[in-house]
Amino acid sequence: MTLRLDDLRLTRGATHVLDGVTLEAREGEFISILGPSGAGKSTLFELLLGSLAAEGGQITHNGQPVQGRDLFAFMPQRDALMPWRRVIDNIALGLEVQGLPRRAARDRVRPLLPRFGLDGFERHWPHQLSGGMRQRAALARTLVQDRPLLLLDEPFGALDALTRTRMQRWLEARLQETRVTTLLVTHDVREAVALSDRIYLLSPRPARVVEVFDVPQPRPRMETGPGEEALALETRILRTLLEGERE
């Protein structure tokens, strides 16, 4: 399985957003797309999901043009939990959309709750959850769809530093279990280094890939905290980012 984004170009209104973005994700890889705010990272996901059409370039999956949405499970930048659905029904949303009756969808979701730290909260409403729990519910909603590719748009951006680290560690453990191919959009360098197999660094708008970093370190990484290599890589990426801004 390989997903390729090839020389994607897009202008939104008067704004030149994407200036030829090329990247690749192979089976089971964790890919980060790292770039400053407003670079066009969320826009890239909108192209993948087909809610926007690129003006140039193409997206292929195993060499075929991508069509339909059943390839991706998407987590939007904010958790987008529905206030009028209980936690369990929010997580089961994708299954219901696929046509599963509510009862069956709940039965599929229920056994997963403990692993997402939501045991005993299935009957709660989203507004009764903490920020970290909401994010875990949104992730559960994404993973339960059982799609070959995850698209995560700054999933931990709104959390405090401690909760964020905890969630990253937890996500790493979940993905160790499933090894599902993942594209993560983030502006957090440390997060990208900690979680990724490969990092695509985007320039400020109009976005293009400035540099690609491989992160060869063994997993799990979050248990031990960042090693020396990781810190060195983080410094290198930060320097590249800052140089890009000075131009």
Partner 1 sequence: MDIANVTRAAARGLRRAAPALVSVVLILLGWEVYVDLSGISATALPAPSRVAAQGWQARAVLAENALATLTATLSGFAVSLACAFVLSVAIDFVPLLRRALFPVFVISQTLPLVAIAPLVVLWFGFGLLPKILLVALVTFFPMLVALVDGFEATDRDITRLLRSMGAGRGQLFWRARLPSALPFFFAGLRISITYAVVAAIFAEYAGAARGLGIFILNAKNNFRPDLVLAAVFVSSALTLALFALAVMAQHFAQPWRRA
Ligand X SMILES: Nc1ncnc2c1ncn2[C@@H]1O[C@H](COP(=O)(O)OP(=O)(O)O)[C@@H](O)[C@H]1O
Residues at the interface with partner 1 (CB under 8 A) = 46, 49, 51, 68-70, 72-74, 76-78, 80, 82-84, 93-94, 96-98, 124-125, 127-128, 145, 151
The verdict on 196 binding ligand X (CB under 6 A) reads: no
C-alpha pair distances (Å), 156 with each of 162, 193, 236: 11, 15, 23
Can the peptide bond before residue 220 be classed as cis, meaning omega within 30 degrees of 0?
Answer: yes
The verdict on 163 binding ligand X (CB under 6 A) reads: no
Whole-angstrom Cα distance, residue 26 to residue 134? 29
Of the residues 3, 8, 17, 194, which one makes contact with ligand X according to CB under 6 A: 17
Q: In this chain, which stretch among 34-42, 53-61, 201-209, 211-219 interacts with Mg ion, using CB under 5 A?
A: 34-42
The verdict on 39 binding ligand X (CB under 6 A) reads: yes
**Shortest Å distance, C-beta 134 to partner 1:** 13
Q: Which is nearer to Mg ion, 33 or 193 (CB)?
A: 33
Provide the 10 A C-beta neighbour count for residue 73: 22
**Shortest Å distance, C-beta 110 to ligand X:** 34
Q: Which is nearer to partner 1, 84 or 161 (CB)?
A: 84
The answer to whether the CB of 168 falls within 8 A of the CB of 132 is no
Whole-angstrom Cα distance, residue 105 to residue 100? 6
**Shortest Å distance, C-beta 227 to partner 1:** 36
Whole-angstrom Cα distance, residue 36 to residue 75? 19
Of the residues 42, 60, 217, 240, which one makes contact with Mg ion according to CB under 5 A: 42
Q: Which is nearer to partner 1, 144 or 199 (CB)?
A: 144
Whole-angstrom Cα distance, residue 47 to residue 58? 10
End-to-end Cα distance, the chain: 37
Q: Which is nearer to ligand X, 42 or 60 (CB)?
A: 42
The verdict on 78 binding ligand X (CB under 6 A) reads: no
Copy the structure tokens of residue 73.
Answer: 């499970």
The verdict on 188 binding Mg ion (CB under 5 A) reads: no
**Shortest Å distance, C-beta 38 to ligand X:** 4
Amino acid identity, residue 150? L
Q: Which of Mg ion, partner 1, ligand X, none does 13 bind, CB closer than 5 to 8 A by kind?
A: ligand X
C-alpha pair distances (Å), 65 with each of 50, 58, 71, 208: 12, 7, 12, 21
The verdict on 41 binding ligand X (CB under 6 A) reads: yes
Copy the structure tokens of residue 107.
Answer: 């039965």
